[in-house]
Amino acid sequence: MANVYELLEFHLSPRGFRQSTEDVISKTLGHQLDISINQLKKISEKVGEVSIPVNGDYMIPAIFKKFKSALQNDKVSFDKRELRTLAFALSYSESGLSSIFSNENELKVALELITSNWRDPFLIGIIDCYLRNWDTENRKSKNHLAVFIDEKIKSYSGNRNTIITFKNKHKYFDLKNGDSVLGYELALKNISIKEANKYLSLPESWYTYPYFSKVITTYYEKKSGELNDYLIDFESALESHKNPTTNKRLLSKFIIQANQPEYSILQDKVKYLAFKFIGDPENKSVWAEYSNAIEQEKSDLFNARIILNEWITREFINVFFNICINDERRKRFWLKYTHKISSFKVYGPSFTQALLKRDERISKYLDTRFVSVQSNRDISAFILYMGDYMFIEFSDAGYAFYAYKINGTYRPNLNYRLNSVDELRNSYMPMLAYRTGVYINGTSPEGRLSHNDGDLRWEEVFSYWIKNIAQIDA
């Protein structure tokens, strides 16, 4: 007897049908889909789980301005999409208008508005503001946000990673020391500092937030004894963090540590990082104190700048007195004073600059510390600033050493390009010290000295004058 398939002439093999469906999406297309899905996952990790509407009416600047206007008009209302954007607008500011976060009363009004039509995804924007303003001086607003977030996450039962992190790892966001606790634990568990945001399931872009500043520095404090092994990780972390305050906090600690004899091998690498992330210590503005710095941090930054300048000065003295003068005695003499030299400049012809540029020890720092003169005569000058004085050494053995008071009337004018280094000399000035045999029987507050030995070596005469007249101890 014919079955139903034969009667209907419906010839279909279930097994064949199943096999045919497996070929609907080719292996190549499937592979491309996998790649696309992975890319989307990476984008999601980087920018976070939520997106702000790009429609002009719902962008942060528009909602921010609407809120500021609403403060003057109680009748203004916000729909759910606007409230979602408002949650992300708390840190926003523009010319003439301060951020909502910076005004505690405005922040309270904004949070009341957001709460009036609450949706759990709004928490992402609130948490964003909290971590973005972690180092703020506005403690009241930050405390208010902390309490608000704490209340909301207690009842949260959704599946958004960022909010779940705040709920389950709340100790890392405690106002007192949450960031330090995280940094310590990451170091203890040997988790790379570069993975701090992933450890918290936070967007990659949030690694730039001030919250991670103390996380990074606390991690260093735990790993400081192994600094040589972690310098590359710290460099990568600072590149991602992009925070000038953290750069100063961390690099000042690196410099002070590398100045200790047992860590001196790290000086070249630390010096490179300091220039990369802060800048030349000659530029005081880039080494200025940062807001909220405690006294120890201010002291560290000040001392680190002096130490870094000393390292650079020492290298310039070594190179200058080897290449431009080839005078070992003068080099040894001035190396004793590197810790007293506050700044320096080298003046000379452009070909001397090119010659010095070949030395890798100073090539990176030469451009800001070399001033070319118009003359092509092969004579250069090394100007050293110590205490209240400008000291000048010349590359020609026949040129005397000069000492000018920084605020004195004889000091050379360096506000225009010099024709030659001869303009730094003043042959009418007196000798700095007058000697008879082994006795120094007269001195001048400004003047010149030759590098000639007598019954006293010239180093002894120089040292006497620098210590007793310039009041500078080696």
Residue 272 lies in a domain: no
**Cβ–Cβ under 8 Å, residues 133 and 140:** no
Residue finishing a domain among 147, 168, 189: 168
pLDDT of amino acid 17:
53
Q: Is residue 347 part of a domain?
A: yes
Question: Between 27 and 423, whose confidence is greater?
Answer: 423
Contact at 8 Å (CB) between 381 and 393? Answer: yes
Residue ending a domain, choose from 113, 146, 168: 168
* Residue at a domain's end among 168, 187, 219: 168
- 167-209: pLDDT as tens digits: 999 999 999 999 999 999 999 999 999 999 999 989 899 999 9
Confidence of residue 28 (pLDDT cuts 50, 70, 90): low
H or E stretch at 247:
helix 244-258
Q: Does residue 34 belong to any structural domain of this protein? A: no
Report the pLDDT value the prediction gives residue 34, as an integer from 0 to 100. Answer: 58
Bridge pairing between strands 401-405 and 433-436: unpaired
Which secondary structure element, helix H or strand E, spans residue 386, and what is its range? strand 381-386
Q: Does residue 47 carry a pLDDT above 50?
A: no
Report the percent of the chain where pLDDT is more than 90: 74
Query: In the 8-state DSSP scheme, what is residue 340?
Result: T
pLDDT at 439 over 80: yes
Q: What does the pLDDT read at residue 325?
A: 86
Does residue 268 form part of some domain? Answer: no
Domain that holds residue 363: 320-468
Write the pLDDT tens digit of every residue in 80-109: 999 999 999 999 999 889 999 999 999 999
Residue 31 in any domain: the answer is no
Q: pLDDT band at residue 56, thresholds of 50, 70 and 90? A: low
* Residue 230 counted as domain residue: no
Query: 219-243 b/e with 16+ CB inside 10 Å = b?
Result: bbeebeeebeebbeebbebbebbeb
Contacts of the segment 327-331: beta carbons below 8 A, 24+ positions apart: 327/397, 329/459, 330/393, 330/451
Distance CA 100, CA 114 (A): 13
Closest CA to 116 of 64, 164, 76, 161: 76
457 falls within a domain: yes
- The total of structural domains in the chain comes to 2
Whether 51 shows a pLDDT value over 50: the answer reads no
**Calpha distance 432→402 (Å, rounded):** 8
Token pair, residue 420, equals 């030659």
In the prediction, which pLDDT does 72 show?
83
Residues contacting residue 24 through CB under 8 Å, at least 6 positions apart: none
pLDDT in tens, 149-178: 999 998 898 888 889 988 999 999 999 999
In a domain, 349, yes or no: yes
- For residue 474, what pLDDT is reported? 79
Q: Is 435 helix (H, G, I), strand (E, B) or coil?
A: strand
With 0-12 / 13-18 / 19 or more C-beta atoms within 10 angstroms meaning exposed / middle / buried, residue 30 is exposed
Closest CA to 242 of 199, 210, 219, 220: 210
Average confidence score pLDDT of the chain: 89
Per-residue pLDDT at 376 exceeds 50 = yes
Classify residue 424 as exposed, middle or buried by CB count within 10 Å of its CB (0-12, 13-18, 19+): buried
Please determine, for residue 245, whether its predicted confidence score (pLDDT) is greater than 90: yes
